[in-house]
């Protein structure tokens, strides 16, 4: 069975998942949810009914080509549209990779979220950004209206989140489970938003 280091599912649908009324008011721009999952085999999707349902309702690019099999170079390519040799992020760690490599190369200014914001989108980043991002020492990046990002990427308990510049610490209680904490702010539509939204 083929294994994918990165499976990219881009789901474009204008239902009230993230931002309630932008479509109904005739703004013309769709709400966009970009779901990036990594590090599992494609056969595991069978055990993820919610992901399968979203995949069925959205768009899946079955012939999507990853620019690099490592996490940070691939994510940097998604953010900037550049191949790793152009983005300067060629590995997961410094000196030419990870969060610091992304920042040192000036890739934050080249991110698609900056362009989306300039066209009127509310943009939100939640979850893992890049290896080496530390919520306590790194500020939210430009181009993101909302920033709800954990460090490390894989700790499910006893972690920090940078919430628009405010550091939140979560412990070891069941309600501190990282996936649930990350999803909570985005489960209900934000009816106050009168512009299209992008959620990563």
Positions annotated as catalytic residues are: 71
**β-pairing verdict for 159-163 and 3-12:** unpaired
For residues 82 and 182, give the distance between their C-alpha atoms in angstroms, rounded to a whole number.
28
**β-pairing verdict for 59-60 and 3-12:** antiparallel
Cβ contact 123:146 at 8 Å: yes
Nearest to 83 by CA among 95, 73, 72: 73
Nearest to 113 by CA among 70, 90, 159, 146: 146
Please, what's the b/e burial string for 143-176 (b: 16 or more CB within 10 A of its CB; e: otherwise)?
bbbbbbbbbebeeeeebbbbbeeeeeebeeeeee
For 102, the 3-state DSSP assignment is helix
């Amino acid at each position: 069975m083929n294994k994918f280091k990165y499976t990219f599912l881009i789901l474009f649908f204008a239902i009230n998942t993230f931002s309630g009324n932008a479509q109904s008011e005739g703004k013309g721009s769709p709400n966009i949810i970009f779901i990036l999952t990594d590090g599992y085999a494609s056969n595991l999707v069978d055990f993820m009914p919610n992901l399968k349902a979203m995949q069925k309702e959205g768009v899946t690019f079955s012939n999507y080509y990853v620019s690099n099999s490592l996490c940070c170079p691939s994510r940097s390519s998604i953010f900037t549209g550049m191949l790793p040799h152009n983005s300067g992020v060629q590995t997961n760690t410094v000196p030419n990779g990870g969060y610091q490599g992304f920042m040192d190369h000036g890739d934050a200014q080249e991110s698609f979220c900056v362009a989306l914001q300039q066209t009127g989108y509310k943009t939100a980043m939640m979850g893992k950004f890049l290896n080496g991002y530390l919520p306590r020492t790194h500020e939210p990046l430009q181009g993101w209206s909302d920033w709800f990002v954990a460090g490390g990427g894989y700790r499910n308990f006893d972690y920090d989140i940078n919430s628009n510049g405010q550091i939140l610490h979560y412990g070891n209680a069941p309600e501190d489970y990282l996936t649930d904490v990350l999803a909570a702010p985005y489960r209900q539509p934000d009816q106050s938003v009168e512009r299209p939204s992008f959620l990563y």
